[in-house]
Amino acid sequence: MRTPVRIKVSLGAAAVAALLAAGSAQASAPDHVTDRATGVAVERSDAGPGRVKAFWTQERIKEAVARPSDLPTAPDVDARPLDSAPAPASSGVPASASASAVAPKNRLPGSGDRTVGTFAPTDVTRSIKNAATASWPFTPSGWLVYYGSDGNLYSCSAAVIVHSNKSTVWTAAHCLHGGKGGGYSKNAAFVPAKNGDDHPFGVWEKVSSYVPTKWIQDSDVITGDMAAFTVRADPTLGGFVQDVVGAYGYEFRSNSPENGFVHSIGYPGDGYGRPNSDYSGGAYQRFCTGPTVDAAPGKPLDQRLKLNCEMGHGASGGPMVKNLTGDARIVGVNSHRKADSNGNWVDNYMYSSEHGSQARSVYSAIR
3-state DSSP assignment of residue 208: strand
- Say if 166 falls within a structural domain: yes
CATH number, position 245: 2.40.10.120
What DSSP assignment string belongs to 61-74?
Answer: HHHHHTSBPPPPEE
- Say if 114 falls within a structural domain: no
Buried b (16+ CB within 10 A) or exposed e, 304-323: bbbbbbbbbbbbbbbbbbbb
- Say if 85 falls within a structural domain: no
- Say if 236 falls within a structural domain: yes
Query: For 168, which DSSP code?
Result: E
- Say if 234 falls within a structural domain: yes
Show pLDDT as tens, one digit a residue, over the chain (367 residues). Answer: 343 333 233 334 444 444 444 343 444 444 445 444 579 999 998 889 999 999 998 889 889 988 999 888 875 554 444 444 444 433 555 668 999 999 999 765 445 555 665 567 789 999 999 999 999 999 999 999 999 999 999 999 999 999 999 999 999 999 999 999 999 999 999 999 999 988 999 999 999 999 999 999 999 999 999 999 999 999 999 999 999 999 999 999 987 789 999 999 999 999 999 999 999 989 999 999 999 999 988 888 889 999 999 999 999 999 999 999 899 999 999 999 999 888 899 999 999 999 999 999 999 999 9
- Say if 6 falls within a structural domain: no
Structural domains of the chain, count = 1
**Where in the sequence is the domain holding 37, given as residue range(s)?**
13-73+97-106+123-365
- Say if 287 falls within a structural domain: yes
Q: How far is CA 94 from the centre of its chain?
A: 23
Q: Is 24 exposed, middle or buried (0-12, 13-18, 19+ CB in 10 A)?
A: exposed
- Say if 322 falls within a structural domain: yes
